Amino acid sequence: MEDPKKWCQEFFALDKDGDMVIATSEEACRWCPSGAIRKVYGFGQSELDAEMKLLEAISKHGDHRSIPRWNDDPNRMHYEVLAIVKEAGILS
């Protein structure tokens, strides 16, 4: 997530052509925070725990009830997403 070229909005993951793919796909090269969590943690309790940590970090900075809604805000900048993800301590 550190590289802005690996971040996306509006989709969990995109391939090199900008087409939507499953977050865990070998073809995925850009992710939203939720997609990145799925890529790293898979599906299950670890994923849910990571999402809760991210939601907690987001909520400290405003009233956001969903990760996608927060990430997909048209005014959202990559550096903001990266800072919150780091604050949550969920992705390296």
- Give pLDDT tens digits for 22-62: 999 999 999 999 999 999 999 899 999 999 999 999 999 88
Range list of H helices, 1-92: 33-41, 45-59, 67-71, 78-88
What residues make up the domain containing 17? 4-88
| Tokens (6 digits) for 78 | 């990559």
Instruction: Please report the pLDDT score of residue 92 as a whole number.
Output: 63
> Please, what is the angle between helix 78-88 and helix 45-59, to 10°?
120
> For the segment 51-90, what is each residue's pLDDT rounded down to a tens digit?
999 999 999 988 778 999 999 999 999 999 999 999 999 9
Neighbour tally for 68: CB within 10 Å: 16
Instruction: Please report the pLDDT score of residue 36 as a whole number.
Output: 96
Number of domains in the chain: 1
> For the segment 2-28, what is each residue's pLDDT rounded down to a tens digit?
899 999 999 999 999 999 999 999 999
